Structure 1
Amino acid sequence: MSKDMVILALSCLGIVQALFLSFYLFTLNKGSRRANLFLGLAILGLTIRIGKSVLNVYLDLEPWQRNLGLSGILLTGPSLWFYGKALLLSKKDFLSKDVLHFLPFILFVTFSTVIPNNANPISYVIYILVFSHLAVYVFLSFGLLVGNRTEIRKQLGNWFRNLVIGTALIWLFYMGHLAGLFSFYIGGALFFSLLIYVFSFLFLQKHAFQLGKYNSSTLDKSTSKLLMESLKQLFSEEEIYLDNSLSLESVSERLKVSPRKLSQAINENEEKNFSDFVASHRVEKAKSLLIDPNYRNEKIIAVAYDCGFGNITSFNLAFKAKTKRTPSQYRREFGKV
């Protein structure tokens, strides 16, 4: 297979993956429907633009066809910005005046047959204006992050930041190519394919699926931190995690909050779910008991039960996941003689 065929195959796979991801987001009922819609539109806009890049290398496209591809950039910018608002600020209302942000895209598509695109000076000016439009929304999106950094939850902020950076890098590639800094035109399509596979991988992880899980929550960032401090204090002072019947509901009752808010606080501040958070404390306790001279003759299963684990299997799995050693190996290596 020739080099050109490999590049074409990789680019096309990225485009297909992006179309699949867009369609998936349009039909996704988890999290914020509005956020899913705008993210799908942003990815679709980039896909239209990148698809044009691929076709333009291997086919002789008409000016109106190139304009349709260029129009995707006008869809991406406002969609990315509104996605940030829906995700980070839980903006529920999309006002009729907000449609004006998509007017450049609508007009560009409508008049694509008459807009010049023939490598003349006017065409270059239009090209720069279109990408300047995207640059404005990239800056606005970064502004969302900076202006609301004290209120934005960490996971949401990191996810949106990465999306904006990815979009900005695509913008830089095409502007760099226009300025003559990059001669490999289809490189933008390859880079886009890489980004899409990275984003798709994240969406296959629970992290991305849970981004909008707490969008309707009234628990703000500062209250979330205070709740987390109360939980850690409760675990430290009373060691309630040693109870193998401990549940999210029982702990939330002790702290006088709803299980949902407690789960949210753990997820946002520790990037763990409740079970993992409890297991990490139990493992830390087990590490201290395994090297305690008073426990030298105790069996591993006794240590497991004393630390709150219900069976030896779950103990071994949790312990090795955290320490990279089995309990027996840890005792031999660090146990006091």
Structure 2
Amino acid sequence: MNKDTLILVLSCLGIAQALFLVVYLLTLKKRNRKANLFLALTILGLTIRIGKSVLNVYLDLESWQRNLGLSGILLTGPALLFYGRALLLSKKEFLPKDAFHFLPFILFAALAIVIPNDGNPISYVIYILVFSHLAFYTLLSFGLLIRNKTEIRKPLGNWYRNLVIGTAFIWVFYMGNLAGLFSFYIGGALFFSLLIYVFSFLFLQKHAFQLGKYTSSTLDKSTSKELMQTLKKLFFEEEIYLDSSLSLESVSKRLNVSPRKLSQAINENEEKNFSDFVVSHRIEKAKVLLVDPKYRREKIIAIAYDCGFGNVTSFNLAFKAKTKYTPTQFRNEFGTA
């Protein structure tokens, strides 16, 4: 397989993966469907543009076909902005007047056959204007993050920021290519393929499938922090985590909040689920008891029960995962005779 064939295969794989994500998002009925739609349009817009780049290298495209590919850029910018609004500011409605943001894309695609794209000066001006449109919306997207940074949940903000940065890099590549800084034109398609697979990995590993988990929640960032502080105070003052029957439902009842909101507060502020949060406190308590001279002769199993663990096996596994020591090793290493 020669270099050109390899580049073609990698580029086509990226486009195929992108189209898969678009179809998946458009058919996903759970969680924030509005955000899913705008994310699908963002990816579709980039895919149209990148697909044109790949075809333009290997085929002799007509000017209207090149214009259709270029129109994808006019779709990407508004979709990226409104994806951010739907994801980060879920209460903000998409109004009928907002549809005008997509009018340049519709008109450009509809008039593709008459818009010049044959390498003359007017064609270059149009090309620059189209990418200026993307630059404008990319800046608006960054502005959305900056203006609302105190209200945006960290996982959502990080995900959207990375998406905007990836889009900005694609813009830089194509503008750099136009300016003669990058001569490897198909490199944009290769970078897009890499970007799509990175995003796909994040989808499958952690972020995107869970990004909308709390999108419809009424718990804002400041209230989430206050709830977390109240929970920590309860754990510190009453050590309720020592109760082996402790559950998310019982704690949420104590705090007079729903289990979902309590789970959200822990997830957003500690980046843990409820079980991991409780276990971490139990391990810290166990570390104190293991080095306490008063507990020197206490059996490990007794300390495990005293710290809220149901059995010594789960205690040993959790303790070693957290500290890299078994309880016995920890006591021998750090305890006093």
**Into which bin does the TM-score normalised by the smaller protein fall?**
over 0.9
In the other structure, the counterpart of 1:47 is 47
For residues 264 and 195 of structure 1, the distance between their equivalents in structure 2, rounded to whole angstroms, comes to 29
Aligned to 1:184: 184
Q: 1:43 Cα shift? A: 0.6
Per-residue deviation, 1:45: 0.7
**Is 2:159–2:207's contact at 8 Å kept on the other side of the alignment?**
no
Residue matched to 2:152? 152
Question: CA 1:145–1:315 in 2, change beyond 3 Å: closer, same or farther?
Answer: same
SS in 1 for 2:211: coil
Counterpart residue number, 1:333: 333
Most deviating of 240-249 and 299-308: 299-308
Displacement after TM superposition at 1:164 (Å):
0.7
Structure 1's 16 and 333: CA in aligned 2 closer, same or farther, altered over 3 A? farther
Deviation at 1:137, TM superposition (A): 0.6
Uncovered stretches (5+) of structure 2, i.e. residues with no partner: none
Structure 1 residues 329, 85: closer, same or farther in 2, change over 3 A? same
Instruction: Verify: 1:283 aligned to 2:283, yes or no.
Output: yes
CA deviations over 1:77-121 (Å, ceiling 9, x no partner): 000100111111114532222111111111111111111111111
**SS of residue paired to 1:210:** helix
Q: How big is the shift at 1:3? A: 1.8
Letter in 2 for 1:2: N
Tell me the distance in 1 between the aligned counterparts of 2:230 and 2:295: 31
Q: Give the counterpart letter for 1:187 in structure 2.
A: G
Q: For the structure 1 residues 183 and 259, does the alpha-carbon distance in structure 2 shift closer, same or farther, using more than 3 Å as the test?
A: same
Match of 1:231 in 2: 231
CA contact (8 A) 1:14 1:196 kept: yes
Paired position in structure 2 for 1:174: 174
2:136: which partner in 1?
136
**How large is the Cα RMSD of the aligned pairs?**
1.6
Amino acid at match of 2:106: I
Aligned-partner Cα distance in 2 for 1:303–1:13: 55
What is the CA distance between 1:49 and its match in structure 2? Answer: 0.8
Q: What is the CA distance between 1:21 and its match in structure 2? A: 1.0
Structure 2 distance, partners of 1:67, 1:18, is 20
Are the structure 2 counterparts of residues 11 and 207 from structure 1 closer, same or farther at C-alpha, using a change threshold of 3 Å?
same
Equivalent residue for 1:202?
202
Q: Residue 6 of structure 2: SS of its match in structure 1?
A: helix
How far apart, CA to CA, are the structure 2 residues paired with 1:218 and 1:281?
28
Distance 1:305 1:193 in 2: 52
Change (3 A) 1:170 1:317: farther
Q: Which residue of 2 aligns with 1:30?
A: 30
Count of aligned positions: 337
Question: Is 1:79 aligned to residue 79 of structure 2?
Answer: yes
Pick closer, same or farther for the CA change 1:61–1:317 going to 2, 3 Å: farther
Which residue of structure 2 aligns with residue 252 of structure 1? 252
Q: Structure 1 length as normaliser, TM-score?
A: 0.95
Contact 2:176 2:182 in 1 (8 A): yes
The answer on whether the counterparts of 2:173 and 2:182 sit within 8 Å (CA) in structure 1 is yes
| Shift, 1:256, TM fit | 1.4
Distance 1:236 1:12 in 2: 56
Match of 1:112? 112
Partner of 1:95: 95
Cα deviation code 1:177-226 (max 9, x no counterpart): 11111111111111111111111111112433222222222212111111
Matching of residues 6-17 of structure 1 within 5 Å: 6-17=6-17
Question: Relative to structure 1, is the Cα distance of residues 299 and 58 closer, same or farther in structure 2, using a 3 angstrom cutoff?
Answer: farther
Aligned 8 A contact 1:31 1:209 in 2: no
The residue number in structure 2 matching 1:295 is 295
CA contact (8 A) 1:291 1:335 kept: yes
Q: Which moved more, 1:55-64 or 1:177-186?
A: 55-64
Q: Which runs of 5+ in 1 are unaligned?
A: none
Larger displacement relative to structure 2 (187-196 or 2-11): 2-11
Three-state SS of the structure 1 residue aligned to 2:207 is helix
- Asked if structure 2 preserves the Cα contact closer than 8 Å seen for 1:30 and 1:209, the reply is no
CA contact (8 A) 1:34 1:92 kept: no
Identical aligned residues as a percent: 81
